[in-house]
Structure 1
């Protein structure tokens, strides 16, 4: 793979990359419409593919928050055309890596030594390169290690990158400026946390220790003495990323076992720890033939406040929806309904969000759920497309939904997507207070 010898770090240099991408995209549109004059039946697929390639190439050179945004967008099939999703998905674990001299420079900056002076053996060629950093193999005292090295300048450019990337996202990806502004603070704070490897080290140790008893999960040991603010060392875990794992044609039993481990992992974090590994894309999980799964990268962790938790999850018990006043108050607390709404708008949004909750909360209303049911996901995607066309939402005075829901929604979207890809059937464990009367009766009758 081609390595990268230089990362733009100044605001001017980074801004020029966005400008360059915009110019290329403009040229792609001119080329597309020129071809369309000759062939009126020409679709926009080729245009999307060209644009996605040019935008990705520009973002991959910048690394950091710009590339992280592409990674986040790649998880949502409803926001972007397929060409963008496929191209941006590369940011999950196959961005162009840093060259050797830049890696050595990072070690000398934070340890005052080269990696060869710290480890018994250090592979200069990265085995994995993503948005914030890249991973190298190393050995020390007979142990095989994974060493994550952050890209230079990433932490210092988060805020400016997001400001520069916003108009690009609005114009080229057809995103809503109101929605972007609503959640920008939450995204910025999480990205800044992701660049702090000392914070990630603490969270990695805590969450992996708390979740160690969950069946079929494996966590690496972390090494504080070999870590710093921009370099993180842990045990090497073997396993396959999702795409390669599925190529091995695992049995349904193994798919279910890994799917169950995924569900139980997130269920415990959210409901017991009240903080969650909020970056559930396939690059952060290593799946094995025996049905066990390694979990890595706790850079993005969402801490859940009691107020948000109580309001968000009480809606998962559909008994709540039978109480109109309680539902309305919960919608207000979660900012689905706002004070400016007229009675007509309020009634409209209550019904719309009820429909959304019943659809997305369906797995919680079952004792077991088959995530391989593509008909369910087709319905979810169709509803998302329907939402995108709702005039009342497009013309709404505010973006709806608490900013604290951004990473929780993202977490469940990622979890559902991975379980769907695995075609896993899982027992949807949940706290007792989230079990509805209907489900409780079904469970009693089953016994």
Structure 2
């Protein structure tokens, strides 16, 4: 058997072992409970061991497996505390890092991909500065300038596609690991975006647009693109001690509010400035750039592989108009608007009061001058929307999400998850008034 099939078989076996491992530990846990050990203690131990195996496996596999883990990590704050607590450390670790690729492999890829231009690259650090789902980043110098060199893992494309196919097959069995999270649609969306993220030329094109739009911005920093092709991307180096994941773990209230506001301003404001939506809001992509005295400073933004190219070169004005109607409590008009936009399909009946019951808590951050996001708030929304006996659940099932809103929806939900992890108090209404077409008029 060749090396590539061997690796594929090994990867598939490790992915398939995740639900089996959970089942095995559950059986052992049952035995311990029958032996007199308290059920709560057994469940805590079971979840902690499951978290360790799950995220160690996802991190080692990189590819689609790690990408799924990063996507799930955004929604960690929505899980009930007794479920989320054992997972939190493993989740936040996965947001920032993964086991590195050997330096000798990196050097060979750079030589093969850059050809004659490889000579412009010097002083490549042996250890990666960051490692993500399909590539890792090394610090180096390009024509004497400090740069970040992003290198795609060998066979990353085939591995990513294979992982996502396998994860799609075992999606249902991952349910007990993340109760209440519908993993299958998440995997389907990751599959749909695979090809774009594998081509660093598209990422370079998007990042160049963002860099030009935010050149000289007092709050946001986007590294310049210097060179690149399908599998290698060279950008200016951005000195940063940590990411938003550190603020989530140990940030002060001032840091949480400061960086939370910058995070929100970038995600909601960038479409009007660039015609693009940064659609990968996990904390590892947002870097802290503190001032010289150590106080909170600018926010650096990385990773432009997942980007929505907006047809109107901004977020749809109808989205802002719909949100404004909800904030103004005009749900009769919102039902009409939703029908026109395809959120309510033809022939589906929708009661305005039930739509209000479903949406009002979700749009509250846009109704008030300042809103404090929290784990408790998002957990309550998660519980409410996933209660089959509740009105919100029934209303949600009657709504449709037009395909053009898929990435916008995922990004906004992800942003809410990150802000809730941060526990940030944010003037979201003012941000929307300044940046979202249709919201202010």
Work out whether the TM-score is over 0.5: yes
Q: What is the CA RMSD across the aligned residues, in angstroms?
A: 3.6
Structure 2: distance between partners of 1:181 and 1:248: 32
Deviations 1:393-434 (A, max 9, x none): 489988843344443233223434444516344463224731
How far off is 1:122 after superposition?
A: 0.5
Seen in structure 2, the aligned counterparts of structure 1 residues 21 and 245 have a Cα distance that, compared at 3 Å, is closer
Seen in structure 2, the aligned counterparts of structure 1 residues 185 and 404 have a Cα distance that, compared at 3 Å, is farther
Question: Structure 2 regions of 5+ residues with no counterpart?
Answer: 292-296
Aligned to 2:294: none
2:267 pairs with 1:266:
yes
How far off is 1:315 after superposition?
A: 2.0
Aligned to 1:354: 356
The answer to whether the Cα contact below 8 Å between 1:335 and 1:401 also exists between their aligned partners in 2 is: yes
1:36-115 equivalence runs, <5 A: 36-39=33-36, 41-43=38-40, 44-77=43-76, 78=78, 81-82=83-84, 83-112=86-115
Deviations 1:199-218 (A, max 9, x none): 00000001221233543112
Q: What number of residue pairs does the alignment pair up?
A: 418
2:319 pairs with 1:312:
yes
How far off is 1:70 after superposition?
A: 0.9
2:31 to 25, 31, 34: 34
How far off is 1:301 after superposition?
A: 0.8
Deviations 1:320-376 (A, max 9, x none): 8755554224434565534464x4xx33xx54543343222223223x4243x54xx
The answer to whether the Cα contact below 8 Å between 1:196 and 1:229 also exists between their aligned partners in 2 is: yes
Structure 2: distance between partners of 1:57 and 1:257: 32
Normalised TM-score (structure 1): 0.80
Seen in structure 2, the aligned counterparts of structure 1 residues 329 and 163 have a Cα distance that, compared at 3 Å, is farther
Seen in structure 2, the aligned counterparts of structure 1 residues 423 and 396 have a Cα distance that, compared at 3 Å, is closer
Deviations 1:282-308 (A, max 9, x none): 211121322112111111112334598
1:171-186 equivalence runs, <5 A: 171-174=173-176, 185-186=188-189
Seen in structure 2, the aligned counterparts of structure 1 residues 256 and 324 have a Cα distance that, compared at 3 Å, is closer
Deviations 1:123-152 (A, max 9, x none): 121121122211111123332211111222
The answer to whether the Cα contact below 8 Å between 1:136 and 1:147 also exists between their aligned partners in 2 is: yes
The answer to whether the Cα contact below 8 Å between 2:253 and 2:424 also exists between their aligned partners in 1 is: no
1:166 to 150, 165, 168: 168
Aligned to 1:435: 440
- Equivalent residue of 2:173, what SS? helix
Structure 1: distance between partners of 2:103 and 2:117: 11
Structure 2: distance between partners of 1:426 and 1:396: 27
